[in-house]
Amino acid sequence: MKALFAASEIFPFAKTGGLADVAHALPRALSKQLEIISVMPLYGFMQSASLSRDELSFSVTLGSIEYDIALYTAENQGVKTYFIQAPLLSATQGLYGDENGEYANNDLRFGIFCAAIVELAAALQIDIVHLNDWHTALAALFIKERSLDIKSLFTIHNLAYQGIFEASSLQRLGIDSRYFHMDGIEFYGALNCMKAGIAYSDRVTTVSPRYAEEILTAEFGCGLEGFLQHHAAKLSGVLNGIDTEYFDPSSDTALASGFDAHNLDLKYCNKKALLKEAGLKDPRVPLFVMISRLAHQKGFDLLLEALKPMLKKRLNILILVEGVNHYRTALEKIAEKHGNLCLFFGYNEALSHRIYAGGDFLLMPSLFEPCGLNQMIAMRYGTVPVVHSVGGLFDTVHEDSETCGTGIVFLRPTKKALLNAVERALSLKSDVQKMEKTIRFNMACDFSFEKSAKAYIGLYRELQQGSLTIKDYNG
């Protein structure tokens, strides 16, 4: 069996969020059991000089216009990655947009990418194409349209981002109007790329079992709940993991001191170093940390509502966020009046590792969370998560349970529930023995991608054999 894993971003080449981490770690885990290759765009900010030019090249035609495709490759921890260089797709310095918003031609940019995925899969005689999120979704339609002997699996990482464009995109993309209906890619008169992945792939997965259930409801379905219910027979949830070799506190070079579950005093050293870096005082005070995008999804309205009462307590809060919007302005105003709140802005991989290592508690008040990786990374680094029990947070964090992992869980996204969870966290921190027991228990949990890889191997084999077993895959 030969598989091609397609994503719009793969760490360490390009990253805006958790998709890049998954697209790095999952193929690596899969490579231990089958032949797998990755593919992503070659963006304008990336240096092709550091890559190898591949002999294979071809062109794709969309809307009667031919686009020449050049291919580059690189090896990344045992997985060969192809990079698609194409007009428009590779002309931008950003992945999806700039300070002015999303690129207006993203429909064509990622349409070219999808067409190139299919051509590459055919040239390499791929059996299974694993597509991820709307940027790759049209590839499922293109495979069906050409009646290729290639099976496709489409993974929804976040249903909120669907790739919706004006109907005129059909002509630019060369998509026949027979696909433009409510059971196809039409969505209130517009083209919906996410629907293409759901409708025309052979199997659909989400990144956690709970999220697979949630998206069938109006609350979490983002307008596609009915469409997903129609395709529920091929939908299941596979829980993500993390790269436990990369996220390893015992060997992480970004930390002030490496540590493991047997020498938690060195975790305390990381906390002291982080507080010094942040300009916060007193390492004996509980430290709550948060690493996130400034998005409504991540619960910032709820956090802002609860933040001032939290800051009146004997604790420190450190937040690393990416994005510029009204949430940032509101956070900065609060930080001006509270010396126990520190803010860092922008993407900073090394700093995020130091925050995971130095924190006592990780805040994740997400309104919805398809899977979430932060909570698993935090537990790996001995930081206890405080989470709203939705999606992957429901599947990975449990309170008063012997199930991996353990944290503080609140069931409703309200100010009262969040503040009550913070109080329970402070109570846990005051009980030294229970806190250390919780930390050691979490650090011993297996959050690797091995279970996820096993589940996907099972799905690939089902597709190859033409069978369909309906169940959730959570390892």
pLDDT single digits (tens) 37-70 = 999 999 999 987 789 999 999 999 999 999 999 9
CA dist 292 and 387 (Å) reads 13
Mean of all residue pLDDT scores within the chain: 95
Alpha helix stretches (DSSP H) within 360-449: 374-380, 391-396, 415-430, 432-443
Tokens of 10: 């793969």
Tokens of 242: 């993390």
Q: Tell me 297's DSSP state.
A: G
Q: Which residues contact 237 (CB under 8 A, 6 or more apart)?
A: 205, 206, 207, 208, 209, 210, 211, 212, 213, 472, 473, 474
99 by Cβ neighbours in 10 Å (0-12 / 13-18 / 19+) ranks as: exposed
pLDDT digits (tens, 9 = 90+) for 299-315: 999 999 999 999 999 99
The pLDDT, as a whole number, for residue 468 is 52
| Distance of alpha carbon 434 from the chain centroid | 31
**Which of helix, strand or coil describes residue 423?**
helix
Cβ–Cβ under 8 Å, residues 14 and 49: no
Q: Which residues pair with 204 in a beta bridge?
A: 154, 235
Rg (CA), the chain: 23
| Distance of alpha carbon 133 from the chain centroid | 10
Q: Indicate left, alpha or beta for 174 from its phi (over 0: left) and psi (-120 to 50: alpha).
A: left
Q: What would the DSSP string read from start to end of 83-114?
A: EEE-TTTTS-SSSSEETTEE-TTHHHHHHHHH
**Helices and strands: H and E segment counts in the chain:** 16, 20
Cβ–Cβ under 8 Å, residues 136 and 114: yes
pLDDT digits (tens, 9 = 90+) for 446-465: 999 999 999 999 999 999 99
| Type of residue found at 142 | F
pLDDT digits (tens, 9 = 90+) for 321-353: 998 899 999 999 999 999 999 999 998 999 999
Looking from the CA of 27 toward its CB, the CA atoms found within 13 Å total: 31
CA dist 370 and 342 (Å) reads 28
Domains and CATH numbers, the chain: 2-241+449-465 (3.40.50.2000), 265-443 (3.40.50.2000)
Please list the pLDDT of the chain residue by residue as tens digits (475 residues): 999 999 999 999 999 989 999 999 999 999 999 999 999 999 999 987 789 999 999 999 999 999 999 999 999 889 999 999 999 999 999 999 998 899 999 999 999 999 999 999 999 999 999 999 999 999 999 999 999 999 999 999 999 999 999 999 999 999 999 999 999 999 999 999 999 999 999 999 999 999 999 999 999 999 999 999 999 999 999 999 999 999 999 999 999 999 999 999 999 999 999 999 999 999 999 999 999 999 999 999 999 999 999 999 999 999 999 988 999 999 999 999 999 999 999 989 999 999 999 999 999 999 999 999 999 999 999 999 999 999 999 999 999 888 899 999 999 999 999 999 999 999 999 999 999 999 999 999 999 999 999 999 999 999 999 865 444 434 3
The pLDDT, as a whole number, for residue 99 is 85
